[in-house]
Amino acid sequence: MNIIEKIIAAHSDKDTVKPGDIVDISIDARVARDFGGPNVIKNIEEYGLTIDDVNKTFFTFDTNPTGSDQKYAANQQLIRIFARKHGIKIFDINNGIGTHTLINNGLAWPGSTAVTTDSHANILGAIGAFGQGMGDKDIAAAFHRGKVWFKVPKSAKIVLKGEKPDNVTAKDIVLNLLHRFGANSLLGYSVEFYGEAVDKLTLDQRITIASMGTEMGVIILLFPPNDEIMNFCREKTGRNLEKTEADADAHYDKIFEIDISTFVPMVSRPGKPHDTVDIKEEKQVKIDSAFVGSCTNGRIEDMRAVAEVLKGRKVAPGVVLKIVPSTDEVWRQCLDEGILKIFKDADALVSNAGCAGCAAGQVGQNGPGEITISTGNRNFPGKQGKGKVYLASPAAVAASAVAGFITTPDNIPDHPATFDETREEELFEAAKNYRHEHDTMSEVVEGRVWLIPVDDIDTDMIYHNRYLQITDPAEMGQYIFDNLKGYEDFAKKAKPGDIVVTGKNFGAGSSRQQAVDGFKTLGISAILAKSFGAIYERNAINAAMPILTYDSLEKIDLKDGDTISVNFRTGEVTNKRNGLTTKINPFSEVQMEIYQNGGLF
């Protein structure tokens, strides 16, 4: 077996597992955040669930640790009361990002399993652990049972050959990989990394790469731990840990050998993390703001790289630089090493540890027309505000903040760029202008088609993060697709029974359950896509929201507005306009059982 198969088998009642097997796996760390947490509690109380093991159950407050939003403050207080009642540990607003906490506090270790309401829980692949972001129903089930059902994924192996160029950072490595693989060519795969260049990567560098597995559409990016990582985890856990390694004859569905010496500093252009190009192609783009932080680049090595660029320099006039360390431990290291002074002397804004703008709950948001360069993992439209977001390495972001335009540390001008009148007028105009649930357990549904031929529709396009504080499903439907260009009025025009037909990787991105529940509120009877984001697929199945995948619908000559029938058991789809019929992938046995039950509970 390979690494993912060994971890899953070791946490199940199976001696061996293979891709496609659906098994119950025990979870070593079951975690909910301040967003998603209230819905986890709601499920637990509504269904009268108990807590399996409070010593393995945790809450983390990282999406809005500043308490700057009243709904978040109310959610956090609700969680605190519930946690005290049940004796559950909370890592509160002074702590930082929950996935990093699991690593730093020895709650995750090589070969362990963890689930959280954070879609970047697969960051644990950095230490060779299994981490998955899941929706509130899954997490409530994990709190209660200590286990979740999971389908063993196919595996791929990436071997990085050659020497890494000195000017290529860990962020550049993952952006180069995104350029190669896009958002869905490895959709649903577990990916293992090998090669001499991989062995040399530090923990911080591994975290940066692993954290963007979600943007690649993979289940997880797994790094076999080297001796340095093993010693770190032994110290944090206080346990004599053994490595979990792939067998010599382990099977991989795909194997890639990639020459890392060809990698270059990269930047993701606004709108899609995988729309990556050599940063030289975007040099001289004027910026309004810069952001350093997130679970991808908020570690101490990232802070040191930024400080090296900023030392003795100032942020360009009119540009705002916001810096948010990933954990309180990193924040304190910055204090002890004099890094905070360098940041402040450069006129940067420094906040307490947390997710920051990535979660719309802390500093880092941008305004209409604003151009931001960010170290975050996502730049979906609206994800970090109303402006446009480029993604780059911490050093490149710091250099750009000093220069006033996108650049690299080796190309910072003596005099920063300033805003011209045309640009000022564009910003002014942009800012000025910004001012009945339908459930059926029928195995056959019929409805009007919304044909949306778009790939990689992420959960921010489906249900924007500015609505995450809403916990009542009845309120969610009105916001579906209001951040998807061309479909902003979907919720007003959709009718109960309608069927959405779309492209690849539908539901990529965040773990938010609202992106499923909103469709149920509107009465959408099914969603057909070529593929679904892994977390979204689980959330939909667990919520009894009918989703099905198809390879092609050419046989039925489908057009927007057609009426079709869909048989969940057989996969038969019939176009009522012309009588043509085709077959798509039907429900699995597990999906049908959960659907017939009206949901996971």
pLDDT in tens, 565-601: 999 999 999 999 999 999 999 999 889 989 988 898 8
Q: Classify domain 266-432 at the CATH superfamily level.
A: Aconitase, domain 3 (3.30.499.10)
**Residue 378: pLDDT band with limits 50, 70, 90:** confident
- Whether residue 306 contacts residue 331, with contact meaning beta carbons closer than 8 Å, is answered with no
Q: Sign of the C-alpha dihedral, residues 440, 442, 448, 453?
A: positive
Residue 173 has pLDDT above 50, yes or no: yes
Q: What pLDDT is recorded for position 424?
A: 59
- Could you tell me which residues come within 8 angstroms of residue 538 by beta carbon, excluding any fewer than 6 positions away? 134, 135, 138
What are the start-end ranges of the H helices in 108-212? Answer: 136-145, 170-181, 196-199, 203-210
The token duo for 181 is: 């693989």
Long-range pairs for 18-22 at CB < 8 Å and ≥24 separation?
A: 18/152, 19/152, 19/153, 19/154, 19/155, 19/253, 20/151, 20/152, 21/151, 21/152, 22/149, 22/150, 22/151, 22/152, 22/588, 22/590
Q: Where are the domains of the chain?
A: 3-262, 266-432, 444-596
In eight-state DSSP terms, residue 174 is: H
Q: Which residue type does 384 have?
A: Q
pLDDT in tens, 232-254: 999 999 999 999 999 999 999 99
What is the pLDDT averaged over residues 335-358? 93
Mean pLDDT, range 343-360, rounded to an integer: 87
Encoded tokens for 394: 């911490």
Percent of the chain with pLDDT over 90: 78
What does the pLDDT look like over 399-455, one tens digit per residue? 999 999 999 999 999 888 887 666 556 656 665 554 433 344 789 999 999 999 999
Is 3-262's fold the same as 266-432's?
Answer: yes
- Model confidence at 364: pLDDT above 80: no
CB 568 within 8 Å of CB 528: no
- For domain 444-596, give its CATH number from 3.30.565.10, 3.40.462.10, 3.40.50.300, 3.20.19.10: 3.20.19.10
Check pLDDT > 70 for residue 145.
yes
CATH of the structural domain 3-262, one choice from 3.30.499.10, 3.40.50.300, 3.40.50.920, 3.40.190.10 = 3.30.499.10
pLDDT at 597: 87
